[in-house]
């Protein structure tokens, strides 16, 4: 293993220029696939797919996340909870968004949300207006879907996403290893969730509706019901995690459709291609660019020995562009045969619980767009304005001209 001199860390964590980040990732894959970001003792960055693939399933050796180290147990969001408690939380959350549960939201998305949003978009498009499809369509779909599943007021869904983005931006300002709870990062969001929980708890339990809030309040972890504080933490995490990844991937996919008219027309004629296009968008955009984990006990990954306490960045975006596995890995190819080999949603025992919901939302949201518009095209330049954060990648805004069918 060799370290690359010259401030490559600044490029790798650049919040404003994704091209610099991807160039830095490629350099690390070629020259220093396991790289010490902060000096000889790390934090460490895993750049190649084989190393990230080897590390992700090691859930007893790597755990926690940004700000998750030593916060009180009630403030530990799902991504920071360690085994075996993490496994109990996963079973609980899986009862809310597992495939058979996620399918319950399908009629709402197909017959209510997407048609209503696209009606407004089509009216503006018919007047010749440029439409920001992130603000007017894609920002709403995943945030509304997770709010619907959890029993949250739909009129608040977009605000919840915006608060989540603020949490992500503030989280990136934290020094790796800092211990900070979600309620401390965003007190306004926390107070909002606590108010909703207080309203529910003020009712007799026999009158609670059957939704995600009630499910969390009555479920047990390690033999005990979760405290209201713990429920607040998990709701803040779920409302955010159920929005950001899907929203950013959808934005990337629609961008690709807008700059490739042939692909757009091919999918209009054959919707079966949406599924693979979704996997390729997850691969090339990698909405979560990296995960931060703490080494819980000594372990060797790709012939490098990690010590207990080491912080390790799992370079998901770099792994997903690894030329050793993906031919022309920097290029979007909706028909790529091995697109689904990406690690955008993790892998192993801690694979993203919302993966089936993401794919369902994509099939519906992209299908509705293809139904409603004969063609779409970029309205401004060759690219899009990316989110200003190194940890997440997707369009901040995506202005299009749309031609109603």
Structural domain range at position 201? 8-404
- Report the predicted TM-score, pTM, of the whole model to 2 decimal places: 0.94
User: What is the tens place of the pLDDT at every residue in 154-178?
Assistant: 999 999 888 988 887 776 665 555 5
Residue 117 lies in a domain: yes
Query: What does the H/E/C string look like for 313-351?
Result: EECHHHHCCCCCCCCCCCCCCCCCCCHHHCCCCCCHHHC
Residue 3: per-residue pLDDT: 39
251, 314 in Cβ contact below 8 A?
A: no
Residue 1 lies in a domain: no
HSE (side-chain half, CA atoms, 13 Å) at 120: 12
Give the residue ranges of the chain where pLDDT is below 70. Answer: 1-6, 65-70, 171-179
Instruction: For residue 152, say if its preceding peptide bond is cis, omega within 30 degrees of 0.
Output: no
Domain count, the chain: 1
Residue 264: per-residue pLDDT: 98
Residue 38 lies in a domain: yes
CATH of residue 291's domain is 1.10.630.10
Residue 186 lies in a domain: yes
User: What is the tens place of the pLDDT at every residue in 65-82?
Assistant: 655 556 788 988 888 888
């Amino acid at each position: 293993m060799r370290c690359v001199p010259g401030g490559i860390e600044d490029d790798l964590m650049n919040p404003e220029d994704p091209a610099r980040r991807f160039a830095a990732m490629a350099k690390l894959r070629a020259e220093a696939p396991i790289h010490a970001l902060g000096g000889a003792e790390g934090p460490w960055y895993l750049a190649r797919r084989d190393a990230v693939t080897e590390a992700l399933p090691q859930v007893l050796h790597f755990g926690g996340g940004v700000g998750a180290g030593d916060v009180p147990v009630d403030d530990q969001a799902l991504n920071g909870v360690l085994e075996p408690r993490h496994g109990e939380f996963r079973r609980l959350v899986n009862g809310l968004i597992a495939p058979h549960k996620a399918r319950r939201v399908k009629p709402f998305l197909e017959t209510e949300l997407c048609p209503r949003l696209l009606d407004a978009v089509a009216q503006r498009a018919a007047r010749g207006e440029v439409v920001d499809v992130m603000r007017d369509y894609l920002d709403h779909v995943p945030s509304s879907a997770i709010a619907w599943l959890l029993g949250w007021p739909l009129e608040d869904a977009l605000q919840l996403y915006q608060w989540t983005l603020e949490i992500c931006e503030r989280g990136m300002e934290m020094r790796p290893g800092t211990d900070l709870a979600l309620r401390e990062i965003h007190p306004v969001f926390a107070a909002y969730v606590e108010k909703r929980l207080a309203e529910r708890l003020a009712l007799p339990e026999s009158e609670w509706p059957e939704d995600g809030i009630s499910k969390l309040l009555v479920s047990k972890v390690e033999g005990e019901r979760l405290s209201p504080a713990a429920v607040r933490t998990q709701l803040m995490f779920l409302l955010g995690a159920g929005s950001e990844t899907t929203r950013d991937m959808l934005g990337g996919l629609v961008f690709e459709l807008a700059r490739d008219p042939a692909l757009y027309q091919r999918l209009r004629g054959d919707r079966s291609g949406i599924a693979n296009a979704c996997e390729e968008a997850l691969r090339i955009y990698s909405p979560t660019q990296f995960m931060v984990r703490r080494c819980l006990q000594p372990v060797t990954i790709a012939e490098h020995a990690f010590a207990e306490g080491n912080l390790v960045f799992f370079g998901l975006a770099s792994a997903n562009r690894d030329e050793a596995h993906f031919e022309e890995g920097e290029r979007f190819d909706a028909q790529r045969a091995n697109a689904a080999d990406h690690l955008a949603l993790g892998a192993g025992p801690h694979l993203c619980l919302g993966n089936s919901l993401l794919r369902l939302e994509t099939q519906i949201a992209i299908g509705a767009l293809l139904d409603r518009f004969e063609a779409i095209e970029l309205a401004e330049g060759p690219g899009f304005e990316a989110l200003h954060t190194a940890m997440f990648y997707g369009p901040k805004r995506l202005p299009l001209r749309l031609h109603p069918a």
